Chain A
Amino acid sequence: MNTEPVGVVTMTIDGKPVKARAGAFLLEAARAAGIHIPTLCHHEALEPYGGCRLCVVDVTEEGWDGWCKMVIACQFPVKDGLIVFTNSERVLETRRVVLDLLLARCPDTPLIQGLAARYGITETSYQRNPEPTDCILCALCTRVCDHIGVSAIATVNRGIGREVAPPFGEAPPDCIGCLACAEICPTHCIPYTTSDSSRTIWGKTFQMLRCPACGRAHITVEQARHFAGHGGVSESYFTLCDACKRTQMAATFQRLQALPTASAGGGR
């Protein structure tokens, strides 16, 4: 971004005056004001994507003669004087079409069933997917993988044939087994197994690092190597698990507090 606008803008969302940080997107502003807009492909930690189209809202401005433009809240920048309708009839209808289509794709997925039901759809109007899937192609998994700097998986193919896959459908050479993709998945549809000795995801098996203090397998070898390489710390930093690191740090503080000089100079 070239220039980051500073200051505060004032808008109207569903008749309610809302202040927002200049440079923010509508979704953030609406949520901060307690106005709910549904999303499936949005995550605060990642760049907006605009794939699920569930966060559509109508916007208009003074002088537009009542003409409304339909935009997606996750990517539309806030603007002074903007008038937003998050629940106009055509907004609701567009969301219904989207959910109806998603229910046809993922007829057995509880998240989609629940959302669709909230919009009055219990049965899809379209052809039920003969091979039901839980993947809604929100691309959160591929985007978080990119964000971590690994890019082991990506969306492949076009149109209805689109899917999330590692390169050539083989065990991804770049995968570090961090499970971020599986954790972020809103429908929990990325399968993996993990045990004290090994972890398997995307057809690739990883050796686990065990914490020497508690014995828990907390991270894969590749993960430690990747984060050491990107985080400016040594691989040995990852030897202890987070919990044991905290325990150890607490013990250090206790020891320091017990020292007379430390307690004399206290007041932190």
Chain B
Amino acid sequence: MRIESFAAFEGYVEDARARFAARQSEVLVCCGTGCLANGAAAVAEAFAAALEGAPAQVKTFTKRTGCHGFCERGPLVVLRPAGVLYTKVKPRDVAEIVDKTIQGGTVIPRLLYKEPVSGQRIQHYQEVPFYKHQTRVAMRRIGLIDPTDIDDAIAHGAYRGLVKALTMTPEAVLAEVAASGLRGRGGAGFPTARKWRSCRSAKGERKFILCNGDEGDPGAFKDRSIMEGDPHSVLEGMIIGGWAVGAHEGIIYVRDEYPLAVVNLTLAIAQARDRGLLGSNILGTGFDFDIRISRGGGAFVCGESSALMRSLEGKVGEPRAKYVHATDRGLYDLPTVLNNVETWADVGAILEHGGAWFAAMGTEKSKGTKAFSLVGKVKNTGLIELPMGTTLRQIIYDIGGGVIGDRPFKAVQTGGPSGGCVPEALLDLPVDYEKLTEAGSMMGSGGMIVMDDRTCMVDVARYFLKFLTEESCGKCVPCREGLHQMLVIFDDLVAGRGKGGDIERIERLSRGMQLGSLCELGKSAPNPVLSTLRYFREEYVAHVERRECPAGICRDLTTYEIMPQTCDGCHACFKACPVAAITGKVKELHVIHQDKCISCGACYDACPTQAIRFLPKHEMAARGVA
């Protein structure tokens, strides 16, 4: 059904709201990728089947929503209107939930989230610390709506920002976005309004609005969740962008590894066209804007703007010099605005609530909220959104619940392969673009990887180098040859083949790559190296000069032994060892056989009495133990 005017849209919203308000009770089953992997689809089916035959007075609808964020505890189920959150729900729990909670009105304590410190069970999802500290803008509707139903999105506020924008002049829209202080959420933080303004003033009739959904950093999944969980927020932002800059064509570049995002976006586009919110003569205003999807072929570098545009043109996705901005000559050499998924998702909310509302959140130069994927050695893994300026400590401890096993915190890696590691001393750093850059890291894709004391920083840097070595397109010398040679040096370091002068060679090469590389992939590739060198130089020195890995991670430098006075013969190490290098009977002393041990550390992590210690291989060798 086409909506032909603003007045008709208001009527449509009322209808949709009334329809959803009539649903007295809903079961929201998280069908984000994490929960689906844990069996959420079967849970949703079980609810649908169980509720179909339920008596009319407890008419409850089952809704498959996007990612609720709390992936660690999935599959997640929220019961509305009570707001009860059940975690790790299995299909076999469904009958009990329907019986006791939906029909009986009592909660099932076993399925509630247990606060790890107090041991208290928390009933309402908004009381769970993971959710309590969040402010959601880009992710405002994710988890509340069925992403495959545009009416659900509209009932929850979708396209209100667009309606407002279309009643304003493009100049006024630009001013509103400028007032919000919104900066690019892809990581570089370029002021969005300034980008739009240059494109608007660029010469040419044909202009493009692009959405970068090629999120590829290890550990990052915020864009994925937005595209999967609320595709309309992306479409709405892009249409507003088109109105502001005078473009009529939009393309969403999505990685093909995100199949659910492709499906949900495709559906959303079809439904928006059907309602007259996309296509020609949007809402009867005479404004035309359409969006299509282009699926990426899997190259990480295609997330770089110029490579992305080449890929869209059907050429090999390799970067080119950007001395002329894409806003002047971008896709097909025509004026182009490229923004990240999260940036587009923010735009609708900014138009709806006003730039000042957005700018009231955040820090001096970084306004609004920011989505992060919180992963690694943190208790509450998941997807979060918070006001800029929230400290790393708040993120990792208040929301993340601290380090797994309450081990000592060592560092947090932000910004993916272009970012860096921030040490414990900087835990009170307010997270914004400037502060992270000053600390030698960057905002990047919003990935946050928490690391505990069982992390070797040389090994971490090597991991990112290896990733980038495989993803460098190879067009320019400093990135192609530089990354390869850097990885050669790091391979030597972790294998105990480090040489004097290695650290200096690393620094010199890093500088050459930063200055000489063609695109940001190569320019920022040394960041993980330089930030770990800056905060953990001693670990590098230990690897080079003493052939030791202080964290006991690098296998070629580390051996493990059982301390006889502490071992109580619990047999845990025996079970953990993947290569049967440990012998010993229950309640007797266990022994690690060095000839078989592969130094993986599984026994060390499994031992409940800390009876296993690691030591440098050369020390063990000096003892003459075989």
Contacts and interface: CB of A to CB of B under 8 A. Distances in A.
Contact of B480 (A2, A48, A72, A159): A159
Contacts of A75: 321, 323
A185 interface: no
B78 to A, nearest CB: 43
Given A50-B320, A126-B488, A160-B484, A102 B477 contact: yes
Interface stretch (B152-160, B210-218, B510-518, B537-545): B510-518
Given A3-B203, A158-B470, 4 more contacts: A50-B475, A97-B512, A104-B481, A155-B316
A129 to B, nearest CB: 9
Nearest to B202: A2
A158 B300 CA distance: 11
Contacts of B299: 158
B324 interface: yes
Contact of B474 (A48, A54, A160): A160
Contacts of B483: 159-160
A140 to B, nearest CB: 13
B587 interface: no
Contacts of A236: none
A101 B485 contact: yes
Contact of B515 (A56, A76, A136): A56
B478 A137 contact: no
B478 A97 contact: yes
27 contacts: A1-B333, A2-B203, A2-B333, A3-B203, A48-B321, A50-B475, A50-B476, A51-B475, A51-B476, A52-B476, A53-B476, A90-B515, A97-B478, A98-B477, A101-B478, A101-B481, A126-B505, A127-B485, A136-B477, A155-B316, A158-B472, A159-B470, A159-B471, A159-B472, A160-B469, A160-B480, A160-B481
A201 B547 CA distance: 50
A72 B478 CA distance: 13
Interface of A: 1-3, 48, 50-54, 56, 70-72, 75-77, 90, 93-94, 96-98, 101-102, 104-105, 125-127, 136-137, 139, 154-155, 157-162
Contacts of A155: 316, 474-475
Given A51-B476, A53-B516, A105 B203 contact: no
B512 A94 contact: yes
Interface in B286-324: 299, 301, 316, 320-321, 323-324
A53 B333 contact: no
A248 B568 CA distance: 102
A53 B517 contact: yes
Which of B299, B480, B505, B518: most chain A CB closer than 10 A?
Answer: B480
B329 interface: yes
Contacts of A70: 515-516
Given A2-B333, A76-B323, A159-B473, A98 B478 contact: yes
A52 B481 CA distance: 11
A162 B316 CA distance: 13
Contact of B516 (A2, A76, A77, A97): A97
Given A2-B204, A160-B469, A160-B480, A56 B333 contact: no
B511 to A, nearest CB: 7
Given A2-B333, A97-B512, A159 B488 contact: no
Contacts of A139: 475
A71 B475 CA distance: 16
B318 to A, nearest CB: 9
Contacts of A71: 323
Interface string B477-512: 110111111001000000000000000010011011
Contacts of B471: 158-159
B488 A50 contact: no
Which of B299, B320, B476: most chain A CB closer than 10 A?
Answer: B476
On chain B, which size bracket covers the interface? 35 or more
B474 A93 contact: no
A155 B480 CA distance: 13
A70 B469 CA distance: 24
A105 B321 contact: no
A52 B477 CA distance: 6
B482 to A, nearest CB: 6
A104 B509 CA distance: 13
A1 B483 CA distance: 34
Contacts of B485: 101, 104, 126-127
Contacts of A96: 512
A158 B516 contact: no
Contacts of A137: 474, 477, 480
A175 to B, nearest CB: 19
A127 B488 CA distance: 7
A75 B321 CA distance: 7
Nearest to A56: B516
A40 B436 CA distance: 37
Contacts of B329: 2
A52 B517 CA distance: 9
Nearest to A138: B477
Given A72-B321, A127-B488, A158-B299, A53 B478 contact: yes
Contacts of B316: 154-155
A136 B316 CA distance: 19
Contacts of A94: 478, 512, 515-516
A244 B516 CA distance: 49
A102 B481 contact: yes
Which of B323, B324, B474, B477: most chain A CB closer than 10 A?
Answer: B477
A75 B476 CA distance: 14
Contacts of B508: 97
Interface in B319-373: 320-321, 323-324, 329, 333
A10 B472 CA distance: 38
B482 A159 contact: no
Contacts of B516: 53, 56, 70, 94, 97-98
Contacts of B320: 50
B192 to A, nearest CB: 23
A130 to B, nearest CB: 11
Contacts of B476: 50-53
A226 B577 CA distance: 67
